Amino acid sequence: MNYISAFLVTSVTLFAVSANTFAADPLRPDQVEFRSLLQELVETNTTLSSGSCTLAAERVAARLKAVGFDDSQLTLFSVPEFPKEGGLVAIYPGVSETAKPLLLIGHLDVVEAKREDWVRDPFKMIEENGYFYARGIADMKAHIAVWVDTLIRFKKLNHKPKRTVKLALTCGEETNGAFNGIEWLAANQRELIDAEFALNEGGGGDTDGKGNVVGQSIQVGEKTFANYRLETRNPGGHSSVPVPDNAIYQLSHALTKIEGYQFPLEMTETTRNYFAKSGAGRNNELGDAMVALAANPADKASEAIVNNDPFLHSNLRTTCVATLLSGGHAANALPQRARANVNCRIFPGHSIEEIRSTLANLINDDGVSITALAPVRPSPPSPPLDPKITGPIERIAAKYWPGIPVIASMANGYTDATFLGAVGIPTYGIPGIWYDPDGNGAHGLNERMEVRSIYVGRDYMFELVKAYAD
């Protein structure tokens, strides 16, 4: 999960619904089976260093075959160069010859986890105090288990949806530059994942940290990222004879210009909607400014207030920040070279080359080279805020969390949705499973998910997929 979610806790606390309303004990027989699937997934190590997404995909395929999926409906894939980074595409056929498929996506890979750093074994699913603990339980194996379970439930019910439902489980989302399965499928097996739209991670619910669900969100759009290497070179010389022409100083001047530059404010349909709805629930100066800015993006006074919030400031524009710095070769020598990495999070619709050009014009120094570093990711426009997508989400959410707002937001980071948007498949992160304000340890220590969150989210997401498919 390489994104920062738009937390809604501060803006919708007046609408809190107790998560305890949805007690999951005792487990239904179908929940017992689901728990077994979830446990198998999280206990299959899928880290880049020592795990295997291919093994996880094979285990999911075995479960689907056990309930009646045939070989023609299951495609296991990998490439010779990365044999442990494979994935799976499963297809549940619909009866309509005209309705385009629905695609469910999820990444099998997880962030690294060292046993010595964790309280519990990160690759054993442990239930304690109302939580499941395990690496990947939050990001995003609980979500994947729901997707797989949905197809299993369809099969056991002999359900006949109008729309074909596809499931793509891939590797490579968590590590920049790794083999990315969804990117590979989009480039090489486009017909296998072809769909009218896709559902993904990125949405979800928020709690107040006290067991109360205070909001649900839909991710509609995301930034892409790019790393740029800034470099200066110089003949150098002895440090006892300094000269004005210095590689480190030259680079520092360039970085100072970036530091002082603010990309212009932009809004998509989604961010305008987010600022209006989320701002209206805050009942404070910041909320009023958010509402005013949604109504008039040229309102500089409101923008100044909003810019004091780091997330909101970044949600309104491209951002670039220096993240790495190196220079010189000896303590008693003038530097012959200086380098910096500048990490940019690019607003939808702007290319990596366009932002590189903006930085070059800003610095205005031919002696500073600016190189976009791999991986070079696409930057598609945000998908539309489509009522045929948002309508079922809101309608079914009202059943599970009455009175809780569902707010569409754009992620400041990125997911695999980037690669689907680039080939014309609009992708949405859906609500359902809820998260604590601290992010549940995703990417960090002692990752966890509330048990009730997973079981209730499972039922909600099943209903949602069924509504889209039918």
Q: Which percentage of the chain shows pLDDT scores above 70?
A: 95
Q: Of 111, 213, 170, give the one whose Cα is nearest residue 441.
A: 111
- CATH 3.40.630.10 domain residues, the chain: 13-222+379-469
Across the chain, which distance is largest between two alpha carbons, in Å? Answer: 83
H-state helical runs in 67-180: 142-157
pLDDT of residue 17: 59
Identify the weakest region by mean pLDDT among 22-36, 129-143, 201-215. 22-36
Give dist(CA 433, CA 441) in Å, integer. Answer: 15
Per-residue pLDDT tens for 457-467? Answer: 999 999 999 99
> Distance from CA of residue 338 to its chain's centroid?
33
Give dist(CA 63, CA 65) in Å, integer. Answer: 5
| Cβ contact 182:425 at 8 Å | no
pLDDT at 16 over 60: no
8-state DSSP, 73: G
pLDDT at 6 over 50: no
More confident of the two residues 40 and 19: 40
The whole-number average pLDDT for the span 232-236 is 97
The 3-state DSSP composition of the chain as helix, strand, coil percent (nearest 5) reads: 40, 25, 40
Q: Of 430, 470, 463, 438, give the one whose Cα is nearest residue 143.
A: 430
E strand or H helix at 389, and its extent? Answer: helix 387-400
Mean pLDDT of the residues in the chain: 94
Q: Between 3.30.300.30, 3.30.70.60, 3.40.190.10, 3.40.630.10, what CATH number should domain 13-222+379-469 receive?
A: 3.40.630.10
| DSSP string of 246-309, one letter each residue | -HHHHHHHHHHHHHT--PPP---HHHHHHHHHHHHTT-SHHHHHHHHHHH-TT-HHHHHHHTTS
The whole-number average pLDDT for the span 361-386 is 95
What pTM value is reported for the model? Answer: 0.93
Per-residue pLDDT tens for 55-109? Answer: 999 999 999 999 999 999 999 999 999 999 999 999 999 999 999 999 999 999 9
pLDDT at 222 over 60: yes
Q: Give SS3 for 145.
A: helix
pLDDT at 2 over 60: no
- CATH 3.30.70.360 domain residues, the chain: 224-263+318-378
| Cβ contact 367:336 at 8 Å | no
CATH fold of 224-263+318-378: Alpha-Beta Plaits (3.30.70)
Identify the weakest region by mean pLDDT among 12-16, 66-70, 139-143, 257-261. 12-16
